[in-house]
Structure 1
């Protein structure tokens, strides 16, 4: 890497290219010997070991009045300018790094023009929210046939409203859009509005009353997933991004396993999982509650496991008793013990 800076050369200014390396300021043993000869006023031949490097880096300055003699650059001057050169090199390297994603996207666009399918890449860590947003937006906007999303936590109203136009556009152009939320999300008004609009556009939404991984999978070729710290906690601002086809296929299989166990969320049929599924008297959520009751768990513990309060569990049990015409929980658990629905997921 070469940087240009001005140095004082016996009374006049001249431009010089200085080579910036990992340890530019430290002299080798040969350079140190040559530097000492210059300090002693010796005449140095052009081929003197290390002389060219010392002059190139501005450590020695040629005496234009006495050929072959060199003087040391003032230490304060040398420190300032070597420091400035290194800082400039770092700035240039930082700008070059920042431009890499855009450059790669330009090359990808060129590949697509010539119908070239780029080889899969490894996994990249996105460490800030802007990075994650930029990559996910770009990838989702380019979806060709499928977007699979698993969102275990509540989504902020601002995020949902910002994502709605993009998500709607994908669904309206024929892309299959499937999303899994936590069951507790059914009580979120903004989330209900998002689901209502997306399902009208052809998207499918389901809810699951247990923990699951946050995922975005696009066309089985791109996957975004959570970053876990050494303590096992999720790093909210970061995400892993991969184009490894094997990893994407594994995450897609995991998503569909969760999808099959989740309850459909169709706003017109009622909120909160109260409406029974076709051909059954219970929802998956209610079956999870009944299994907890039979296991001797309290409503509070059952609700915590499903992401609800104990009052929601109580409401679900009451709704099911009313549906079955039963007066007590004992009657309900007896019915459950003999019902074929206990074998359903």
Structure 2
């Protein structure tokens, strides 16, 4: 049986009843009837069964009482909820006997794999929300995107004016990143401490020495939440070691070394001699590869090198790496 043109699918908002449909249904309730042709732009009223044909006059539609329509529409949803509830009970009864078998190994629950940014962020939000004493953050890179800094501000704002101590480590290059500068200016007066270093490992967040978060994929879309006391304590010790070597944000960046080579180029020289490729050097120093290669080119010009192999030799022979503190 062919459908009438007024019953064809119609583009509607993501809601059960469009604005036109609401107006027509209200009019039908007030007047007690509605002409079928008036529903050409609101087939959703018929789809929901809010109007029914008048047996005596099929071209006229009669309103169905809202309570009647609601009961009929809710019934399949309630059936689905009941089905899911029964499925949940069945799963619980199936797996409950095995829980006792795994209870002897608490360490197995000490590391949780978080797959996907949504799960990482929601878990991190919940854990940070429960922070009571200390929040340690290691953020490598030349600077963080504004939306990431907005997330960071949202997480730490509840601790402004409290006894929670918050410390954050950045690369030196973050001192020149506009969004990061704005974030530091906003939060430092609230008690967050900032320091920077030339080189940093991967991202690390530690909450109250009871939970730590680290990425385990290059795109940082898979992370670990670590709750083993020994592991978290070790990572906190690593953070404190970096912190003790880092430069407070209020101190100026280091001046160039006597030969005219900057401290950044000195760090690059050290990593070149160690055999690191450009991409690895850029990642270690929190800069993009193009900037890293520009520094390498300046090094080569300063030392008079004509090739990559010669540059490594000249760095080793120049005595640059013998500079105190290098």
TM-score, reference length from structure 2: 0.50
Aligned partner of residue 220 in structure 2, secondary structure: coil
Offset, 1:162 = 2.7
State the alpha-carbon separation in 1 of the partners of residues 229 and 130 from structure 2. 17
State the alpha-carbon separation in 2 of the partners of residues 89 and 95 from structure 1. 10
| Distance 1:202-1:295 versus aligned 2 partners, 3 A rule | same
Instruction: Confirm whether residue 145 of structure 1 aligns to residue 150 of structure 2.
Output: no
State the alpha-carbon separation in 2 of the partners of residues 239 and 217 from structure 1. 13
Instruction: Confirm whether residue 164 of structure 1 aligns to residue 145 of structure 2.
Output: no
The answer on whether the counterparts of 2:266 and 2:320 sit within 8 Å (CA) in structure 1 is: no
Aligned partner of residue 205 in structure 2, secondary structure: strand
Residue number in structure 1 paired with 2:222? 238
Aligned partner of residue 224 in structure 2, secondary structure: strand
Residue number in structure 1 paired with 2:239? 255
The answer on whether the counterparts of 2:204 and 2:213 sit within 8 Å (CA) in structure 1 is: yes
Residue number in structure 1 paired with 2:103? none
Residue number in structure 1 paired with 2:36? none
Offset, 1:149 = 0.8
Higher Cα Rg, which structure: 1
| Distance 1:127-1:312 versus aligned 2 partners, 3 A rule | closer
Residue number in structure 1 paired with 2:267? 288
Offset, 1:297 = 9.8
Q: After the TM superposition, which of the residue ranges 250-259 and 150-159 deviates more from structure 2?
A: 150-159
Alignment of 1:96-107 (within 5 A): none
Offset, 1:304 = 6.6
5+ residue gaps, structure 1, are 1-84, 97-118, 277-281, 319-327
Aligned partner of residue 246 in structure 1, secondary structure: helix
Instruction: Confirm whether residue 214 of structure 1 aligns to residue 208 of structure 2.
Output: no
Aligned partner of residue 225 in structure 1, secondary structure: strand
| Distance 1:286-1:198 versus aligned 2 partners, 3 A rule | farther
State the alpha-carbon separation in 2 of the partners of residues 220 and 213 from structure 1. 18
Q: How many pairs were matched up?
A: 220
Give 1:306's match in structure 2, choosing from 270, 274, 285. 285
Name the Cα RMSD after superposition. Answer: 4.7
State the alpha-carbon separation in 2 of the partners of residues 296 and 125 from structure 1. 33
Residue number in structure 1 paired with 2:248? 264
Residue number in structure 2 paired with 1:179? 168
State the alpha-carbon separation in 2 of the partners of residues 199 and 313 from structure 1. 33
Instruction: Confirm whether residue 197 of structure 1 aligns to residue 197 of structure 2.
Output: no
Offset, 1:198 = 2.1
The answer on whether the counterparts of 1:225 and 1:239 sit within 8 Å (CA) in structure 2 is: yes
State the alpha-carbon separation in 1 of the partners of residues 171 and 157 from structure 2. 21
The answer on whether the counterparts of 2:201 and 2:284 sit within 8 Å (CA) in structure 1 is: no
5+ residue gaps, structure 2, are 1-81, 94-105, 305-314
Residue number in structure 2 paired with 1:133? 121
State the alpha-carbon separation in 1 of the partners of residues 219 and 282 from structure 2. 25
| Distance 1:197-1:315 versus aligned 2 partners, 3 A rule | farther
